[in-house]
């Protein structure tokens, strides 16, 4: 199979396309012929040589933690899935590839109405946003502040907070403000007096915060949040907890993914694709994401 592969840490140019032997599903696993795979900021860090504490193994690696495709082989003991079923799911360091072998409990069926690009880049952002809200529980009496609201996680976070009845203030550059309004957020441009603009909209402060941007957003959260126990950062993994802003503790699950996919199929949740690249151009996908700006999701197709 063809994969995008990192043998030496570095810039986007180290992502090389090469052939590896096709993986075989073991007991409890399925093999999926991948049609699309999401590109995440996490992948940029992996490519640069960073490893999370829980990750085993050294480079070389195939990045990518989310995918969509068609099951083409089923391992021993798997009775709930059959070849030919269209699915999406999550896996760790493996998805920039034509085939992924994954635990049968990490996939859900793809609705016919969900395009491949949307399915391939759906699980990480949607689940991250939903995990945050499961932890801090925004509701109808709350003003929610989302830093980085136009991004992949942010776009889902805006919609899922609105569905819980909260009022949402979202930060983004002004070119994304119409998009944020469509999702139901009140937009502000973080470059021009972030704290003052939020105070103009919510003089009493904000009840819930999701920080997807870090740096000044962290300082602003400390100034604006009424209760730090209802704040989360997905960016500042060290400085956040030191300041009293926790990172997420929930793990991805197929049951949460299934309910988010249902919401997409019913039309209550939307997903914006920023751009798609063929697998062979994974380096260009990384270059685009590495700008740090833009709205929606970047996806590889194969
Ligand atoms: N489980 C987890 O903890 C988890 C899971 C997924 C992602 N993450 C992390 O969450 C962060 C966001 O991920 P993502 O996939 O949503 O990334 P993304 O799609 O690249 O979105 C990032 C957004 O941040 C905005 N931005 C840049 N600088 C900003 C600033 N100073 N203030 C406010 N917004 C700013 C950008 O929009 P503009 O054009 O408006 O600047 C962009 O829309 C990343 O750090 C990622 O690693 C964590």
254, pLDDT greater than 80: yes
pLDDT digits (tens, 9 = 90+) for 18-32: 999 999 999 999 999
pLDDT value at position 252? 97
**Structural domain for 173, as ranges:** 125-243
CB 65 within 8 Å of CB 42: yes
Q: Which of 41, 221, 252 to mutate to test the pocket of ligand 1 (most atoms within 8 A of CB)?
A: 41
CA 84 to ligand 1 centroid distance, Å: 35
Domain at 83, CATH number: 3.90.180.10
State percent of the chain over pLDDT 90. Answer: 96
State percent of the chain over pLDDT 70. Answer: 100
Is 55 inside any structural domain?
Answer: yes
CA 213 to ligand 1 centroid distance, Å: 5
CA 153 to ligand 1 centroid distance, Å: 7
Is 104 inside any structural domain?
Answer: yes
164 shares its domain with 103? no
51 shares its domain with 113? yes
33 shares its domain with 44? yes
Domain boundary among 225, 243, 261: 243
Q: Which atom of ligand 1 is nearest to the CA of 154?
A: 16
37, pLDDT greater than 80: yes
pLDDT value at position 123? 98
Q: Which of 141, 34, 161 is nearest to 89 (CA)?
A: 34
105, pLDDT greater than 80: yes
Q: What mean pLDDT, rounded, does the chain reach? A: 97
CB 116 within 8 Å of CB 35: yes
pLDDT value at position 266? 98
| Tally of domains in the chain | 2
117, pLDDT greater than 80: yes
User: Which residues, 6 or more positions from 231, have their beta carbon under 8 angstroms from its beta carbon?
Assistant: 136, 208, 209, 210, 211, 221, 225, 244, 245, 246
Is 258 inside any structural domain?
Answer: no
Q: Which atom of ligand 1 is nearest to the CA of 247?
A: 3
Span 271-277, average pLDDT: 98
Q: Which atom of ligand 1 is nearest to the CA of 42?
A: 47
Is 296 inside any structural domain?
Answer: yes
Domain boundary among 202, 227, 243: 243
CA 296 to ligand 1 centroid distance, Å: 10
pLDDT value at position 51? 84
Residue with CA at minimum distance from ligand 1 atom 37 = 293
112 shares its domain with 152? no
Reported as a pLDDT band with limits 50, 70 and 90, residue 54 is: confident
Reported as a pLDDT band with limits 50, 70 and 90, residue 53 is: confident
Q: Which of 44, 130, 148 to mutate to test the pocket of ligand 1 (most atoms within 8 A of CB)?
A: 148
Domain at 144, CATH number: 3.40.50.720
pLDDT value at position 201? 98
Instruction: Name all residues whose Cβ lies below 6 A of ligand 1.
Output: 40-42, 124-125, 128, 147-148, 150-154, 171-173, 176, 190, 212-213, 215-217, 234-235, 248, 289, 292-295
Is 262 inside any structural domain?
Answer: no
93, pLDDT greater than 90: yes
CA–CA separation, 51 and 233 (whole Å): 19
Q: Which residue has the higher pLDDT, 52 or 205?
A: 205
28 shares its domain with 69? yes
91 shares its domain with 157? no
pLDDT value at position 52? 82
Residue with CA at minimum distance from ligand 1 atom 21 = 151
């Amino acid at each position: 199979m063809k994969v995008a592969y990192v043998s030496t840490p570095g810039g986007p140019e180290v992502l090389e396309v090469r052939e590896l032997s096709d993986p075989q599903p073991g007991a409890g696993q399925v093999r999926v012929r991948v049609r699309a795979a999401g590109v995440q900021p996490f992948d940029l860090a992996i490519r640069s040589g960073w490893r999370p504490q829980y990750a085993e193994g050294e480079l070389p690696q195939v990045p990518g933690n989310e995918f969509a495709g068609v099951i083409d082989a089923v391992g021993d003991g798997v009775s709930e899935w059959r070849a030919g079923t269209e699915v999406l799911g999550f896996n760790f360091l493996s998805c920039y590839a034509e085939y992924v072998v994954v635990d049968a409990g990490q996939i859900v069926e793809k609705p016919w109405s969900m395009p491949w690009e949307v399915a391939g880049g759906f699980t990480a952002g949607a689940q991250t946003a939903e995990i945050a809200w499961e932890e801090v529980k925004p509701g109808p009496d709350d003003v929610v502040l989302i830093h980085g609201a136009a991004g992949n996680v942010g776009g889902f976070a805006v919609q899922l907070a609105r569905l819980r009845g909260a009022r949402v203030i979202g930060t983004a550059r002004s070119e994304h403000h119409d998009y944020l309004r469509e999702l139901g957020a009140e937009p502000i441009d973080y470059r021009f007096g972030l704290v003052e603009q939020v105070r103009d909209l919510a003089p009493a402060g904000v009840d819930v915060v999701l920080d997807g941007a870090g740096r000044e957003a962290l300082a602003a959260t400390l100034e604006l949040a009424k209760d730090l126990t209802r704040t989360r950062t997905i960016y500042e993994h060290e400085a956040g907890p030191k300041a009293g802003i926790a990172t997420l503790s929930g793990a991805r699950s197929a049951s949460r993914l299934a309910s988010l996919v249902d919401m997409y199929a019913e039309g209550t949740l939307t997903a914006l694709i920023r751009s798609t690249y063929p697998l062979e151009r994974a380096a260009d996908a990384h270059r685009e994401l590495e700008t740090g700006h833009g709205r929606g999701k970047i996806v590889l197709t194969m």
